[in-house]
Structure 1
Amino acid sequence: MKLLQNILILCLLFLSSTKILAQKDSLALQRKARSLVRDGNQLYAQKQYTDASVAYKKALENSASYDKASYNLGNAMYQNKNFKEAAPQYELTAKTATDKFTKAEAYHNLGNSMMETKNFQGAVDAYKNSLRNNPTDDETRYNLAVAQELLEKEKQDNKDDKNKDNKDNKDQDKKDKDDQNKDKNKDKKDNDDKDKKDDKDGEGNKKPYPKNDDKKDPNEKPKPQKGKMSPQQIKQLLESLNNEEKKTQKKMNAEKAKGEKVKQEKDW
């Protein structure tokens, strides 16, 4: 039992010492971070913004939630016109800061960065957040009014551009449709002209429509229509009738001679 108690005591002492060491390390890192921030501030004052940025970044490596380091880093980047890179640092400061004044300053500068990149909606939101934390800041209120005006102008320009694009699209569609109609009319006219040309001979006179007889064999003799006789047939018929008449007359004469009795003369 006593052995168990001694083990528990040792464990508590070990945990306590570990916690103390961690606190000492944390304090040491914080002190180092503050020192780096002071170095960065001196460089910033000398307008050596790039070197100042390096110092502030090192400070954040030692204390990631050090809001002063992130805020100052944002300012150094802003001075170097790295507005897009500055914005996340101001956002980090606004998130980690514990007092409203620091939050208000971070949101104000975030709005300025958004204005520089023409993100007017983002600027409006940032200035509003700044005023929520510090409603008496007239400079932020003025910047908010400017950002809102620019945002409305941007929306109107986008609307006008959209209407212009719609109009251009409609005009283009109308032009395409007109061109298609022109092409159709041209094709129809060309076809009509071709048909008219085909209907004319080389001298420009209209050709007669072909008759059905044109399809017949040119060597075939024409056939008489029903109910009519050709002159040749009439001639043959007359000759046949004449021959028949002669045969009939000859036959009649022969029959007459055969049927007549020899007349004897009477003896008176």
Structure 2
Amino acid sequence: MKNLKYIILLFAVVFSSKEIVAQKDSIALQRKARKMVRQGNQLYEQKQFTDASVAYQKALSNNSAYDKASYNLGNALYQNQNFKEAIPSYELTAKTATDKFTKAEAYHNLGNAMMETKNYQGAVDAYKSSLRNNPTDDETRYNLAVAQKMLDKQNKQNKDNKDNKDKKDDKNKKDKKDKDDKNKDKDKKKDGDDKDKKDDKKDEKDKDGKGDKDQKKNQDPKKDDKKDKKQKSKPRQGQMSPQQIKQLLESLNNEEKKTQKKMNAKKAKGRKVKQEKDW
């Protein structure tokens, strides 16, 4: 029984010693953090914002929940116009701060950083959170009104840009459709013209082929000889052979001679005889 009590007492002493050591380490880290914050504040007053930022970051490395260090770091970054980098520091302060005044200040500065990055919706939300923690802050209320006005303007501009983009897209679609339709009509016309040209070429080819065939036929001496022989051997209907023509001419010549004799006889009978006068 005595041994058990002794063991329990020993564990209590060891545990208490570890707790005491941890507390001492924590206090030491807090002191280092405070020291670095004071050093950062001095640099900040001298407008050495980059060096001040380094000091505040060292303070946070010793105590990550040190809201004064994160808040001051945000201010130093803001003064160096590193607005995007300042935003996480203000958000950390607003999360870790235990009193409403510190939270209100953190949200107020967060809204300012959001304004600088043109995140007007984020600024409006930050200023509203600041006023929830400190409703009497007129400066925050004024900033909220400005942020709301800028947000409305941005939304209107975005809407106009979207409408213009939609109109432009519609116009581009219409122009593309008109162009496609025009190209289709052009292709149809071209196909028709090509077809007509093809038909014309075919007709010319057929015509030329026929002409060439006729010309070739006319120029063929063998065929001409055969034709002449055929005509000599068998006269065409309605035509006379050379022999028949000769006989007809001889007959006509004989008839003409007979007629001429008759005419001469009639003339002789009707002609007056010239008598010689006897004076």
TM-score between the two structures when normalised by the length of structure 2? 0.70
Gaps of 5+ in 1: 211-268
Output aligned runs, 1:35-114, within 5 Å: 35-114=35-114
Output aligned runs, 1:115-134, within 5 Å: 115-134=115-134
Letter in 1 for 2:178: D
1:17 Cα offset (Å)? 1.6
Letter in 1 for 2:154: E
Further displaced range: 91-100 or 190-199: 190-199
Output aligned runs, 1:84-233, within 5 Å: 84-200=84-200
Per-residue CA deviations over 1:64-107 (Å, capped at 9, x if unaligned) read: 11100000001011111111111111011011111111000000
SS at match of 1:64: coil
What does residue 16 of structure 1 align with? 16
Letter in 2 for 1:187: D
1:199 Cα offset (Å)? 4.2
Per-residue CA deviations over 1:107-162 (Å, capped at 9, x if unaligned) read: 00000111111111111110000000011111111111111111111111111111
Q: Distance in 2 between matches of 1:90 and 1:194?
A: 76
1:164 Cα offset (Å)? 1.0
Q: Distance in 1 between matches of 2:14 and 2:196?
A: 113
1:201 Cα offset (Å)? 6.3
Q: Distance in 2 between matches of 1:6 and 1:196?
A: 119
Give the structure with higher Rg (CA).
2
1:180 Cα offset (Å)? 1.1
Per-residue CA deviations over 1:157-202 (Å, capped at 9, x if unaligned) read: 1111111111111111111111111111112222222333344469
What does residue 250 of structure 1 align with? none
Q: Distance in 1 between matches of 2:20 and 2:203?
A: 120
What is the root-mean-square deviation of aligned Cα atoms in Å? Answer: 2.0
Letter in 1 for 2:195: D
Change (3 A) 1:136 1:203: same
Per-residue CA deviations over 1:191-241 (Å, capped at 9, x if unaligned) read: 22233334446999xx8xx9xxxxxxxxxxxxxxxxxxxxxxxxxxxxxxx
Q: Distance in 2 between matches of 1:65 and 1:75?
A: 17
Letter in 1 for 2:184: K
TM-score between the two structures when normalised by the length of structure 1? 0.73
Change (3 A) 1:201 1:109: closer
How many equivalent residue pairs?
A: 207
What does residue 248 of structure 2 align with? none
What does residue 29 of structure 2 align with? 29
SS at match of 1:35: helix
SS at match of 2:135: coil
Letter in 1 for 2:21: L
Q: Distance in 2 between matches of 1:142 and 1:196?
A: 80
SS at match of 1:60: helix
> Would you tell me which structure has more helix in proportion to its own residues?
2
What does residue 272 of structure 2 align with? none
Output aligned runs, 1:226-241, within 5 Å: none
1:63 Cα offset (Å)? 1.0
* Shift >2 Å, 4+ stretches: 191-204
Letter in 1 for 2:146: V
Q: Distance in 1 between matches of 2:201 and 2:68?
A: 100
SS at match of 1:181: helix
What does residue 246 of structure 1 align with? none
